[in-house]
Structure 1
Amino acid sequence: MGRREEAERQLLGAAVRQARVRRGLSIRSLADAVDVSPATICAIERGRTRVDADRLHALAQALGASDRALLHGPDPQVQERAVIEGVSAVAGVSSWRRFDDLPLDPALAGAISAFVEFGYHGAGMRVIAEHAGMSVTGVYHHYASKELLLVRILELAMNDLEWRLDAAMREALIDQLVPTRRFERLVEALALFHACRRDLAFIGASEMRSLQGVERLRIARRRNDVQRRLEAEITSCVHRRLAPQQDVSAAGRAISTMCTSICQWYRVAGPLSPEEVAREYARYAVRIIGARVGNAD
């Protein structure tokens, strides 16, 4: 698949998802309407599959849109209206740049400390209990297994990261930033999380392999969604000709890997603050995709 075709699929997928959400349709409902599987709708919305003319027309009819409107990508005015209407819902939420202590119970705090020091497989329940200042029985009273502790830690990390990315993008849309600046803001939020939540980020990066089965798939999907956010913003920059045609997936992987590595080397006692690191990495990311920092229409 060529880069141009990939960008077009990403735009079509984002438009289909926007139209589906606006009409209050579930993925299954839309799939039934166009006589395909829910998995096919997921693949279309993620830009992972080709959509021929007949299927495009069926999607447009089911979504109350025109074929041409879907091909042009999501409507930025619709996105902005949705954000502005939702501002009141997040008015009481702390700034995404501020990192207060997370509300951790002693067992969870002990597990985080133990996993960082010894790794998941090296930290038994007795070690976790010692780090938590509890008895082993007390830890088991709250968490039936060590795996449940790991699942909760990874969920906590994803919850904290996702709302910050959401808030950063709301802020960018309300400020009416051009795509390159919006992309820069998203990367800043991603990098800042990995500088400020180093323990959670470190466990997330190193211990996913320790999860099994359904839980692993569930957390992996959420991580993949973050990756797709990066790719969608890069695609928008390319579509607006603010960045050159490129392998969007490769660029997104390079940028996410760069950001997730921060938790391995960053130290508070170092010469840079977390905010300075995040801003620098955001500028690096803009250069990686071949755009200019602060590029405007």
Structure 2
Amino acid sequence: MPEQATRADTGSAIRAARLDAGLTLRGLATAINVSTGTMSAIENGKVGVTVDRLNHISGALGVPAARLVRPRRAAVNTATSRPPAEGSGWRSFDDISLDSVLASAVEVFRETGYHGATMRLIATGADISVAGIYHHYPSKKHLLIKLISRAHADLGWRLNAAAADGADAAGGFSNMVEALVLFREERRALAFVMVTESYRAGVPLAGGSDPDNGDIRATLQDAAFQAVESGSFSNTEPELAVDAILTMCLAPPSWTGADQASEPAELARGYASLALSMMQYRR
């Protein structure tokens, strides 16, 4: 039986093409004369797309309509963020399982910011009533806290596995930097919300008291100190260097898509190499 594109396939393809074009959800909605909520519902596979609308979207994005309806292989969803059996599993990213409300919320928070998001807009993207959202999530802040928790759970085990996968302290540190960049690239919407909106909403990141990077910074610093103590790193200000590396890896302004000329794995290795240079790695 030949593969057929589903609403979710088309919505995902439209979102990917929009991000490639550097267009916001609101910008595309305005271009094709629909509401931002309707555009979000289309990208989340909750609303079908007519041929006329598909042509309008393809025209606004400057891509062939056929590119927006290509079938995709089924993704493997993971209900929890648990590490695979093999140590190298931290480099693998299957789709993370989010219910329809959280999936809509993460896209809306990313596009409009936490303060610009409304429960009605999130409900439209999730194809659910506003009352239905409140039945499961008491407030917009609860949605944000849940998303941050999921992001930290997914990133946390990857950092630990990456560190354990290194041949020595320096190798573990390098792996952790690689894991950070891979997380940023493969979990773009979730990572963006974790880094930016937690601070703006006044919600501390799960697992840490620092409003910016929480225990991510502490985890990376511990690895850096071990490498300094072992003589692998000669940087005399490892804390300052770690802050600079975190900024390099997670700074939101770099997430516009301009760095997508490189594949995530290649980009991550490049960042890891830069991080080792910043730590003055002694080979």
- TM-score band by shorter chain is 0.5 to 0.7
The aligned counterpart of 2:143 is 149
Structure 1 SS opposite 2:248? helix
263 and 102 in structure 1: CA distance in 2 versus 1, 3 angstrom threshold: farther
State whether residues 195 and 263 of structure 1, in contact with CA within 8 Å, keep that contact through their aligned partners in structure 2: no
Distance 1:113 1:127 in 2: 10
Report the TM-score when normalising by structure 2: 0.64
Which aligned runs of 4 or more in structure 1 are off by greater than 4 angstroms? none
5 Å-filtered alignment, 1:199-238, equals: 199-212=189-202, 216=204, 218-221=206-209, 223-238=213-228
The structure showing larger relative contact order (alpha-carbon pairs under 8 Å, at least 6 residues apart) is 1
Give the deviation of 1:137 after TM superposition.
1.1
94 and 288 in structure 1: CA distance in 2 versus 1, 3 angstrom threshold: closer
Give the deviation of 1:127 after TM superposition.
0.7
Unaligned ranges ≥5, structure 2: 1-82
Task: Provide the alpha-carbon RMSD of the alignment.
Answer: 2.4
- Alignment match of 2:237 (pick from 216, 225, 247): 247
Distance 1:92 1:251 in 2: 31
Aligned AA for 2:246? Answer: S
Distance 2:134 2:258 in 1: 34
Distance 2:230 2:87 in 1: 32
268 and 275 in structure 1: CA distance in 2 versus 1, 3 angstrom threshold: farther
Report the TM-score when normalising by structure 1: 0.61
State whether residues 244 and 291 of structure 1, in contact with CA within 8 Å, keep that contact through their aligned partners in structure 2: yes
Distance 2:110 2:265 in 1: 23
121 and 274 in structure 1: CA distance in 2 versus 1, 3 angstrom threshold: same
State whether residues 235 and 279 of structure 2, in contact with CA within 8 Å, keep that contact through their aligned partners in structure 1: no
CA offset digits 1:216-237 (Å, max 9, x no partner) = 2755438432212211222122
Distance 1:155 1:232 in 2: 22
The aligned counterpart of 2:180 is 190
280 and 269 in structure 1: CA distance in 2 versus 1, 3 angstrom threshold: closer
CA offset digits 1:247-290 (Å, max 9, x no partner) = 12111101111111268426399321111111000000000011
Distance 2:225 2:86 in 1: 32
Distance 1:280 1:111 in 2: 32
State whether residues 198 and 264 of structure 1, in contact with CA within 8 Å, keep that contact through their aligned partners in structure 2: no
Indicate yes or no: 2:123 matched with 1:129. yes
Larger Rg: 1
CA offset digits 1:70-117 (Å, max 9, x no partner) = xxxxxxxxxxxxxxxxxxx96279811111111111111111111111
Identity over aligned pairs, percent: 38
Give the deviation of 1:203 after TM superposition.
0.8
Indicate yes or no: 2:261 matched with 1:271. yes
Indicate yes or no: 2:99 matched with 1:105. yes
113 and 218 in structure 1: CA distance in 2 versus 1, 3 angstrom threshold: closer
Higher helix share: 1
Give the deviation of 1:134 after TM superposition.
1.3
Give the deviation of 1:132 after TM superposition.
1.2
186 and 270 in structure 1: CA distance in 2 versus 1, 3 angstrom threshold: closer
Give the deviation of 1:169 after TM superposition.
2.0
For these two proteins, the number of residue pairs brought into alignment is: 199
The aligned counterpart of 2:65 is none
